[in-house]
Chain A
Amino acid sequence: MADKQRLVEAVRNTLFEEMQRDEGVVVYGQDVGRNGGVFRATQGLIDEYPNRVYDAPVAEAGIVGLGVGLAAYGFTPVPEIEFSGFMLQAFHQIQQHVARLRSRTRGELNCPMTIRAPYGGGIHALEHHSESFEAGYAHTPGLKVVVPSTPADAKGLLTTAIRDPDPVVFFEPTRLYRAFREEIPDGDHTVPLGEADVVQEGEDVTVVAWGAMRHRALDAAEDVDASVEVIDPRSIVPFDTETVLESIRKTGRCVVVHEAPKTGGMAAEIIARINDRALYYLETPVQRVTGYDVPYPLFAREDEYVPDEDRIRRGIERALSG
């Protein structure tokens, strides 16, 4: 029977199932063992699989770099980085090795690693705990980048990611870990990477949003006097450009929403693709609603930084005007 789960539970259950399905799956990271992860995403896993779940020292470069070795040997490493802000400590391993092992070895070796990390803001965390740096990973050829926004998608996408022969960076929106419960489809539920979810169909304007922003976009859409199509790409790489273009060919208007800073963010890339292939369908310029180009503030100012419903609504209205 399908049961209702929170996003963090969906992640945990997926890890259990994939470890059961494949003996090669190894889960490790800071505090993932006895403590069950700082968000409890790995709770109980070490009791079930004591020889395949490990508490690691505080060493992100080490955690990811060891994973390259595990992967080359034939394991499927699923390391957790405590907060995505601290993946920068491992970025050199990710950019220089994880992402290139396949191309460097002409396909002789691959790196089927899934790096899980909490992502994005909204939980009043400390400095460097709230950033969303998906564009940095998207800018690294050879990596897949996934951001689930619902418990069912978390299950489906994580299952696919772990089974994927290529490396996947899997960003779990902290704000959504415990935000709501949802029914998870029975059985072997997978969601392909690179297939957007048209969350809500509409005729007048297309809104593209992922992570916590998907939900804010839906709320904002309720407050505008127009028929809004909301698209959640679910994976940033591969990105389902076709679904977005198709929608724009219908609506002629578009807004891209993300928490990350504006300059060089994913919205810029998405707009470039629209310009390439659907410019003449646009009735108005594509709008961006994003974080500002300032370091992600400490939490006394974070609510003013992260796009809220009001800013998204105004973005939609701009797209609709003219």
Chain B
Amino acid sequence: MPRETVFEHSIDHVEVLAPDGSVDSELDPELSEDDLLEMYWTMKRSRRLDERAIALQRRGELGTYAPATGQEAAQVGSAHALADEDWMVTSFRESPAYLARETPPHMLLWYAMGMEEGAATPRESRNMPPSIPVGSQALHGAGLGWAQEIADESAASLVYFGDGATSEGDVYEATNLAGVFDAHTVFLCQNNQYAISVPRAQQTRAETLAQKAVAAGIEGVQVDGNDVLGTYAVVRDALESARDGNPVFVEALTYRRSLHTTSDDPSVYRKEEEEDEWETRDPIARFETYLRDRGVLDDDRISDVEASVEDELREEIRLANEGREAVDPEEMFDYVFEAKFPELERQRAAFRGENDGR
């Protein structure tokens, strides 16, 4: 019997907004000016939050912080495509996505201050808290998407993770299970080129990460993740498909322009030339050029945005510090179980100094 091909697959790459600021008119999602400005504002807030957070960390006021600088388009573009009833499931680098979903900056700062309060997003927001174990949250995204299928809800879930996460079994299991159960899930892999120090090429021999979808039998697509319009368009379509029970894996090609976290030194593992090259592809700069060309932005409006970002952050940092001063350590006993638990109550009493600690 001859050997014949039984399966073939290809992966599309999408780019709508080119680095020079020009737009592919066929793929243009044709967002309103308000939408465009809102995305721009969120991207600027997010970048400035990163800068402020790194400075606060250096002063000893924050713990480890994972900046998203360079990934604003991938996150804001995708999160902007979410409807209120959609779920968002994040990893640990998603401040732009949270900002896009109206999480106030002081909560993100609280989390970075080591306060559980920062992860307590209200249930109505349909945001999951950050997940630190790499890739583990992909299964939660698939579970939420499966729930939407079972409940016959016309909504979807969007789960964020990095290129490194695709090496974890959980991510493979999540995509595969999502396919099997018609989960309403979009998997958004931000391929920012590094998992701490390990470059993408050492993470997998696969040519694209989008093709990780193939083995799971779901659709995979690659988008220029520094292109906010392209990311928006691709994720909007993916969410539509997911709402009908067809999960999608989106690889957003981007670059982490800053540190992995505040305890990382990228000079050990990457070259300045590479960093400089990606600077020319910066997502905010590209979007700004486009918005200026369209006449939506000019110098004055940009300074207005920047001033409002500064005002907001000043107030939010104040709120964050206020919250930190009010931390009550005894609250660590409060949320372990819903009901009172005798042994834990004994331990709480011991903590308060009310019994002798036995």
Chain A residues with a Cβ under 8 A of chain B: 30-31, 33-36, 38, 55-62, 85-86, 88-89, 124-129, 262-263, 285, 287, 289, 292-295, 297-302, 304-305, 311, 314-315, 318
Contacts and interface: CB of A to CB of B under 8 A. Distances in A.
Interface stretch (B222-230, B251-259, B328-336): B328-336
Contacts of B203: 57-58
A297 B64 CA distance: 15
B339 to A, nearest CB: 14
B344 A294 contact: yes
Given A58-B203, A294-B333, A126 B92 contact: yes
Interface in B315-358: 324, 327, 329, 331-333, 336, 343-344, 347, 351, 356-358
A293 B347 contact: yes
Contacts of B357: 287, 289, 311, 314-315, 318
Nearest to B198: A55
Nearest to A261: B347
A292 B347 contact: yes
A298 B197 contact: no
B295 interface: no
Contacts of B324: 300
A293 to B, nearest CB: 6
B343 A293 contact: yes
B358 A125 contact: no
A58 B135 contact: yes
Given A58-B168, A61-B169, A127-B132, A292 B332 contact: yes
A139 to B, nearest CB: 20
A304 B351 contact: yes
Contacts of A311: 357
Nearest to A304: B329
A35 to B, nearest CB: 4
Given A58-B164, A58-B203, A301 B331 contact: yes
A33 B268 CA distance: 11
A89 B168 CA distance: 9
B116 interface: yes
A59 B344 CA distance: 35
B132 A126 contact: yes
Contact of B167 (A62, A263, A285, A305): A62
A299 B63 contact: yes
Contacts of A305: 329, 332
A124 B263 CA distance: 11
A302 B332 CA distance: 9
From A35, A298, A305, residue with most partner B Cβ within 10 Å: A298
B327 A300 contact: yes
Contacts of B198: 30-31, 55-58
Contacts of B195: 30, 57-58
B115 interface: yes
B347 A35 contact: no
A65 to B, nearest CB: 10
Contacts of A31: 196-198
B188 interface: no
A301 B336 CA distance: 14
A86 B133 contact: yes
A196 to B, nearest CB: 25
B332 A294 contact: yes
A179 to B, nearest CB: 17
A35 B269 contact: yes
A117 to B, nearest CB: 14
A311 B351 CA distance: 9
Contacts of B92: 126
Nearest to B170: A89
Nearest to B66: A126
B221 interface: no
A304 B133 CA distance: 24
B101 to A, nearest CB: 20
B114 A85 contact: no
B32 interface: no
Given A35-B197, A55-B198, A126-B132, 12 more contacts: A31-B198, A33-B197, A57-B167, A59-B168, A59-B169, A89-B133, A127-B132, A292-B347, A294-B344, A298-B115, A301-B115, A304-B329
A30 B329 contact: no
27 contacts: A31-B196, A35-B197, A38-B196, A55-B198, A55-B202, A56-B198, A57-B204, A58-B167, A58-B195, A58-B198, A59-B167, A62-B167, A62-B169, A85-B133, A89-B136, A127-B132, A128-B133, A263-B343, A287-B357, A292-B344, A293-B344, A297-B116, A298-B115, A301-B116, A301-B332, A304-B351, A314-B356
